[in-house]
Structure 1
Amino acid sequence: MDQNSKTAKESVVTMTELVLPNDTNMFGNLMGGRLMYWMDIAAALSAMKHCGTPVVTASVDNISFENPIKLGNAVHIQARVSRAFNTSMEIFMSVWGEDALHQYKYKSNEAYFTFVALDPNGKPRKVPNLIPETEDEVKLFEGALRRRQVRLILGGKMQPNDATELKALFTK
C-alpha cells in the first residue's frame, strides 16, 4: 500500500446519541431530520479521517427508514469511506437503534453521502485512494462507481450514454 492510499477501516467512525424528547416527533420517534443531521456529522468525521483535510457535503443519497428509533433509545451511526475518487469520497453509513431497557438492537437505515475535500483556499483537493480489504468493503467499493454515475446523471453532470458502468448492468 503506497502512502497515497488508506484502508476503509482507517476511516471508521461510530457515533452514539441518546434520543431525548426534543429529538422526537409527536409519535415519540426520532425525527428524520435530526437523524440526517447526526449522519452528516458522522460522515464528515469519517471523510476527514480519510483525507486529513476539511470536507463539505456534496450529496446525500436516498435515505429510507426501516424502523423508527424511539424516545429513550440510543442511536448508533457507523460511517466509513466506501470509495475515494479524485477529490470526492463516498461514505457508507449504517444506523441502528438500541433499546437498553429490553436489551436489543435493531436496524434503522443505511445511506451514502458524498463529501469533497478542500484545500486552504476552499478549492477541491485530491484525496488518498481507498484500498478495500474485506468482502463487504469490496462490494461497497465496486458498487460506488455505479452509484456515482447515478448521482452525476441526476445532478446534470453526466449524460446517461456516458455512464458505462450503469449501461454494463443492462447490456451484454
Structure 2
Amino acid sequence: MSCFRPRSSMPDGEVYMTEAALAKRQARLQGNHAQQGSKYEFTRIMRPDDANIMGTVHGGIILKMIEEAGCIISTRHCNTQNGDSCMAALVRVESTSFIVPMFVGEVAYITAEITYASKHSLEVQVEITAENLLTGTTKQANKAVLWYVPWKMKNVEKITEVPPIKYASAEDEEEGRKRYEAQKMERQESKAVIAEMAPPSPNPEPHTVGFSQSTLIHLVGPSDCSVHDYAYGGVTMKLMDEVAGIVAIRHCKTSIVTISVDGMNFHRKIKKGSVVTVTGRLTFVSNRSMEIEVFVDAASMIGGEKVQYRAVSGFFTYISLDKDRKPQSVPPLKIEGEEEQRRFEEGEARYLQKKAKRLADKGNQQ
C-alpha cells in the first residue's frame, strides 16, 4: 500500500509527494552526478527542544540542518584531491523555501547535492523531506541553494581549489555556470552597500519600521564554531531567524512562520570569542507577507583590533497565521522618510520577482 497521500486529499494546503514525483526526484539525485561524494544524506528526528513557541519546528533549526548538510558534502568533496586538507565555509544562501511546517516527532530526511563547482566554490542544493511515523505520510518540507568555499586548515585566510565534478550534460554545466556568475555579481554588489541600522525613535508609532526593529547580542562560544574556531553559518542563521521572527511578531501581533530566506551573504568570518549584534528591520510588507532585512555585526573581545564589522546580511520573509494556522492579512507598513520608501520599493521589486518565479515554476510543473 502506498504511504503517500494523493494530492486530492491534501489537508491545509500541504504539498505531499506522489510516488511518481518521489521516484522522479530520486532518479534525478542519483543520475545527475556519477562522481562519488557529490550527494550526502542523513536523517534526524525532530525533538521537543527543536520546537518554537508555536509548537512547530523552529525555522532556525531547519536552517542549521540545511547548512550542516551543505558543509559536510562540500568539505568531503574538496578533500578528495591530494594536497592540504580543507574545510568548506558558507558564503551565500541563494534561496531557502519553507514549503510546509515540520512538527515534533517527525523524521527529517536531508539530502544535499553538489550541482556546480567553479575553481574556488561549490553550489549545493539541499532538500528536506518530512515523514510522519504514525501515519506514514511523507511531504517535501524545505529546499535550498547554498554556496561554499574551501578554506585551508593550515591557513584559514587562503582558499583552495575545488576538484571538478561530473555533469549529466553540457547543458547542466552551462546552466550552473550562469548561476555561478549571477551569484558572484550579487555578492560583489552587496559588499559595496553596507547599510546602517538607525536607532528607532524613543516612542515609535505602531506598524512603523522603528516600532518592530529588534536587536540580539550573542557571545560566540566554542559550541558555535567549527574546527577553525569560526562560527558555523548555521548558527549565525539561527540567530538571524530568531531576530527576524521577533520583528514579524511585533509588527502583526500574531503567530508567524518563515517562508523563505533569500540573498544572504557572509561577508567576513566570525571568530570564537566575538560578540555579534544581530539586528532586524522591516523593509517591505505585502497583503500577506513581511520581508525583514537582518544584519550581523561582529567585534572581537579577545585581543586584536576591537572594531565592529559587517559579517552577514540577508532577507527573511514571514507570513502571519490566524488561530487555525491559516495565512491572514498583515497590517500595512507605515513609511517614514525617503530612505524607508527606497527600501520599501526595493523590497517590493524582490517580492514581485519571487512571485513571478513561483508562477513560472508552477507552470513548468503542470
TM range (shorter): 0.7 to 0.9
Alignment correspondent of 2:330: 127
Residues 17-70 of structure 1, C-alpha deviations (whole Å, 9 max, x = no match): 110001011111110011111111110000000000010001000211111111
State yes or no: 1:105 paired with 2:326: no
Alignment correspondent of 1:139: 342
Alignment correspondent of 1:10: 211
State yes or no: 1:46 paired with 2:253: no
Structure 1 residue 157, shift from structure 2 partner: 2.9
Residues 121-159 of structure 1, C-alpha deviations (whole Å, 9 max, x = no match): 0001111111221333222101011111222234x2358
State yes or no: 1:115 paired with 2:115: no
2:348 counterpart SS class:
helix
Write the distance in 2 (CA, Å) between the matches of 1:50 and 1:148: 18
* Cα contact 1:149–1:158 (8 A) shared by 2: no
Alignment correspondent of 1:20: 221
* Cα contact 1:48–1:54 (8 A) shared by 2: yes
1:150 counterpart SS class:
helix
Unaligned runs of 5+ residues in structure 2 are 1-205, 362-366
RMSD of the TM alignment (CA)?
Answer: 1.5
Alignment correspondent of 1:81: 282
Alignment correspondent of 1:96: 297
1:61 counterpart SS class:
strand
1:143 counterpart SS class:
helix
Write the distance in 2 (CA, Å) between the matches of 1:145 and 1:158: 18
Structure 1 residue 103, shift from structure 2 partner: 2.5
Stretch deviating more after TM superposition (51-60 or 101-110): 101-110
Alignment correspondent of 1:150: 353
- TM-score by length of structure 2 reads 0.41
After superposing on structure 2, the runs of 4+ consecutive aligned residues of structure 1 that deviate more than 6 Å are: none
Write the distance in 2 (CA, Å) between the matches of 1:92 and 1:134: 17
Write the distance in 1 (CA, Å) between the matches of 2:360 and 2:283: 21
Unaligned runs of 5+ residues in structure 1 are 160-172
Write the distance in 1 (CA, Å) between the matches of 2:338 and 2:215: 20
Q: 1:7 to 1:58 in 2, by over 3 A?
A: same
Write the distance in 1 (CA, Å) between the matches of 2:360 and 2:333: 23
2:308 counterpart SS class:
strand
Write the distance in 2 (CA, Å) between the matches of 1:20 and 1:30: 8
Q: 1:136 to 1:99 in 2, by over 3 A?
A: farther
2:273 counterpart SS class:
coil
Alignment correspondent of 2:72: none
Write the distance in 1 (CA, Å) between the matches of 2:289 and 2:270: 31
1:110 counterpart SS class:
strand
The structure whose Rg is larger is 2
Write the distance in 2 (CA, Å) between the matches of 1:69 and 1:123: 38
Residues 148-172 of structure 1, C-alpha deviations (whole Å, 9 max, x = no match): 1222234x2358xxxxxxxxxxxxx
Paired-residue identity, %: 32
Letter in 2 for 1:137: E
